[in-house]
Structures are given as structure tokens and as C-alpha cells.
Amino acid sequence: MSSGAGAIAGLYGAVFIGFFAALWGGTPSQISGPTGPMTVVFTTVFMALTSQFGQDGIAMAFTVVILGGVFQSLFGILRLGQYITLMPYTVISGFMSGIGIIIVLLQIGPLLGYTSEGGVMFAIQEMPERITHPMGSALGIGLLTLAIVFMAPPRLNRIFPAPLIALVVCTFVSLRLDDSLSRIGAIPTGLPQFYWPQFELAQIKLMVGYGLMLATLGAIDSLLTSLVADNVTHTQHDSDRELIGQGIANALSGLFGGLPGAGATMRTVINVRAGGRTPLSGMIHALVLLAIVLGAGGLTAQIPHAVLAGILIKVGIDIIDWGFLKRAHRVSLKATGIMYGVMLLTVFVDLITAVAVGVFVANLLTIQSLTSLQIKSVKTVTSPFDPQANLSDREKHLMAQSRDRILLFSLGGPMSFGAAKGISRRLGIVSKYDVLILDLTEVPMIGVTAALAIENMVKEALLKRRMVFLVGISGQVRTRLERLGLLQQLQPHQFGLSRLEALQQAVDLIDDPLMEPVAVEEG
């Protein structure tokens, strides 16, 4: 209703996206449909276009939904899904627990007989009043629902899911009680309306921009839900196929006047907890919705909100990651901080913000740890007796001959941008040397920033008329240094050598005063 397109648009969005995302998506247990963030974006573009173009604006708004679906499928075809799902477990655990807490908080009111309007903060503010003044019949039905979903025997639950048993039994029991119970009530019905894509040249930029926004938001929303489904079912989804399926589903939803949507975390968890493990559950969910919209709404109108609240509270409690919550502080205080931070942001802000902040902080901490390890692998050796040198007997002999005039600068492991500052700092410790040997034998990969730091080292040494040798460069390291133009500043005998060969040439140079390095002007 808040989108401006009417409740029927939301229902048909749930039908088309729910069915076709399950049919063509890459997460078997996922349930898809309109979500809050997607609806907010659609509402903005719907209001903007309809206020300017009237009825034509409605068709243009649904064209934006179609564009979003097309872009989302392109994301999957270009295999961009893998980048969205690169996420540490602390973040996954945090937003899973946050979602569980949200479900519980939002359903306490309906369990006690109150309506579920407002968000989490409203539910928290009203909780003391509602707990002290519950509606007796609603609370009784809610407690009966909780008893069934928590105490149903596992063997029975495998045949008839406990939430379904609770839904049927408690609804029949409620019909014997007074009519004051809050129920689902009438549901809008009717056939979908076809909207052929319609564009206005002056609005192309706006429409494409909002289409990309819907595609990006839908991709993030769906793949986060896929991660939750993986974690609960212990399976592995296909992120690129999921994006393609979601894109097709959104495009079809837009054609038939449905709202845009994505994988819905709470609905997916409910499905999994009820035993849904295959795309069939998502398709059946859409077909049941379709039957309700086409005229079977009377069958669901009598379901009390207290019954749904009891079922959802069980789902919320189950989705909270109790196992990791109990042990996180023993594993790492940083990881614990990230997890609780993501959980609180999920509850009090929103899921997308929580994940963005959590991933950013987790990546910063990871980079810091990797940088410390990379800097530890940087060795500056001027003496053959240096314990960190790890030289052979022949190399020690050559270093001794150099009389501390050779600086052996050794790097090990992948060198990212975080190591660049450490590389420059370590080189600044030693100022008196005539020959610089950069040993990159143990470096399989080098980042652009670290490569530029090495280039600056070489340029500075050459400007000071010092000889430079690059040792052990190969593969990606050699390719990157070549593309930077660094190897073109050196003679062929100054790179591509082994460390022993470079040490031998360095000693020969020191012993022969006629051999001098060529100065290179900076720039």
C-alpha cells in the first residue's frame, strides 16, 4: 500500500518473483518477494513518474522494475555474484542473530493481542505496556501455538511441519472464542494487468539510474539471504544463477504490474524451518498466493495474528546463532565486537547498513593483520652473521667480502598495499651501502602500491649512483614491474638472476673501481 501501486501490486510481485526466482534461481530453499528496501526505491520512482506523467507514469515505473531485472540478470551473466558473497562468518552470524531478534521483537505485540504497526523501536517502546495489559484470548491462542511448535515430536514434524499443524489447529480453536481476536481479514483479489515497457526520452537517465539501484539492492538483498539459507541448511548456493533467476523474475513482475523483490530472509528461514529444501517450496508458496488472490482469500481471512506471531517467534529464536554467541568471546574479541556490532545495526538501523559496516571493519582488521605479517617478512641484511639472513655458506662468504657495502633487501609472501609503507620504512633504516639487491624470490604476487614502493626504492638508489639487482622476479611480479616500466630502467644483467649470482656480481663491482652504476635522472 505504501508504494502507491496498491496491495494487489505487492501480492502479484510476491507471486511472480516467488515462482520464477525459485524456478530459475540458484538457492533451492529461498523464498523471494517484495522487500522493504526494494519497495522504498520503487515508491520514490513511482511517485516521481506518476506525478509528472499520470497513467503513463505507472507504466514507466513498472518499466524501471523490468530494467532492474535485466540489469540483475546481467550481473549474474558477468559472474559478479561471487564478490557480493565474500563475507566473514562474524558478519553472517551478526545479521542472522539480528534478524532473529527483529522477528521476536515485532511479534511480541501480536502475540499479546495488539496490532503489529510500527518498527522495532515502536515495538520496544510499547512492550512494557503490552506485557502488563495482554489480551487474554490472543495470549491463550499464542501460547497454544508456541506449545505446538516447540513440543511437536520430531517424527511427526517430518511428516506434518509443526507450524502448519499449529496454524490449522489454533485457527479452528480460535473460531470457538470471542470475535475480538485480531485476524488477517480480507485480502485484495483480481487479475494482473499487463504493462508494456514505456520510455520518455527526458526520463531515460532517471529510469536507468533507478533500474541499476533496484538491481544492485536486489542482488545484495538476495545473496545475503542465500548466505543465511546456506548457513541453516549447510548447502552451497550458486550466486550467479541466483542473480539471473532474480533478474528474470523481476522483469516478469514488472511486465504484470508487480512490485520489485528479492530473496526475503525471514520468509526463507520460515520455509527452511518448516522443512523446505528444494525450489518446489518456493513455487508452491507462489501458487498458494495466486490462489488466494484469485478468490480463495476467504480461507485465510480467519487466521488470528496471534497464531502467526507464535509461529514467527519460534522461527526468530531458532535463527539466532546461539552456538557462536556463546563462544565468540573465546575465539577473538575483535570478531566478537564485529558480530555484536552487526547484530545491533541490523536490529536498530537496517540489514544493508549493518553488512556494509561489518564487512568494512572486518576487512580493515584483516588488512591490518596481513600487513603486520607482510612487514615481518621484510628483511634488510648487511652482515653475513645476521640471523634473519638464511644465507648459504657461499653467500655468507660473498657478503663478508663486501665489507658491509651490500644491502640485501628480502621480501616474502604476497605484497599488498598495506606492506608498502613498511617496505619504505625498512629501507630507510640503512643508508650506507653501494649495492642494493632486492630479493623477490618468495613473492608470488605484488600489489600496485607495493610495486610502486619498490620502483621508488630502485629510482632512489640509481639517483645516488648505486648498483641495483632484482632477484627472483617471475610470473605476476615480473609482469607488473615490466608494465610499470621499472625493468626498462635496468640493464639485462641487473634482473632475472639468482641471489648467489647477484651477490657475485655485486662483489666483483665493489672490487673493481672502474665499474660504476649509471645514474638515472628522476622522472
- Per residue in 450-475, pLDDT (tens digit) is 888 888 888 888 888 888 888 888 88
Lowest mean pLDDT among 167-176, 421-430, 491-500: 421-430
Residue 431 pLDDT level (bands cut at 50, 70, 90)? low
- What distance in Å separates the CA atoms of residue 303 and residue 183, rounded to the nearest whole number? 5
- Which of 257, 228, 232, 233 is closest to 62 using CA atoms? 257
Q: Are 416 and 443 in contact (CB under 8 A)?
A: no
Residue 478 pLDDT level (bands cut at 50, 70, 90)? confident
- Sheet with 435-442, edge to edge strand ranges: 379-381, 406-412, 435-442, 467-471, 495-497
What is the Cα Rg of the chain in Å? 32
The DSSP secondary-structure symbol of 203 reads G
CB atoms within 10 A of CB 318: 16
**% helix, strand, coil for the chain, step of 5:** 65, 5, 25
pTM, rounded to two decimals: 0.67
- Per residue in 348-407, pLDDT (tens digit) is 987 778 888 998 898 888 877 777 776 776 777 767 666 666 777 887 788 788 777 888
The DSSP secondary-structure symbol of 440 reads E
Residue 63 pLDDT level (bands cut at 50, 70, 90)? very high
For 192-264, where are the alpha helices, taking DSSP H only?
A: 204-233, 239-255
Q: Are 177 and 311 in contact (CB under 8 A)?
A: no
Residue 31 pLDDT level (bands cut at 50, 70, 90)? very high
- What distance in Å separates the CA atoms of residue 286 and residue 33, rounded to the nearest whole number? 9
Q: Is 418 exposed, middle or buried (0-12, 13-18, 19+ CB in 10 A)?
A: buried
Top mean pLDDT of 246-250, 406-410, 513-517 is at 246-250
CA angle 332, 336, 337 (to 5 degrees): 120
What lies within 8 Å, CB to CB, of 451 at 6+ separation is 415, 480, 481, 484, 486
- Per residue in 234-244, pLDDT (tens digit) is 888 999 999 99
pLDDT at 426: 62
Lowest mean pLDDT among 11-20, 165-174, 293-302, 339-348: 293-302
- Per residue in 178-228, pLDDT (tens digit) is 667 888 877 778 888 899 998 888 788 889 988 988 898 889 889 988 988
| Grid coordinates given for 4 | 502507491
Phi-psi region of 2 (alpha: psi -120 to 50; beta: other; left: phi over 0): alpha
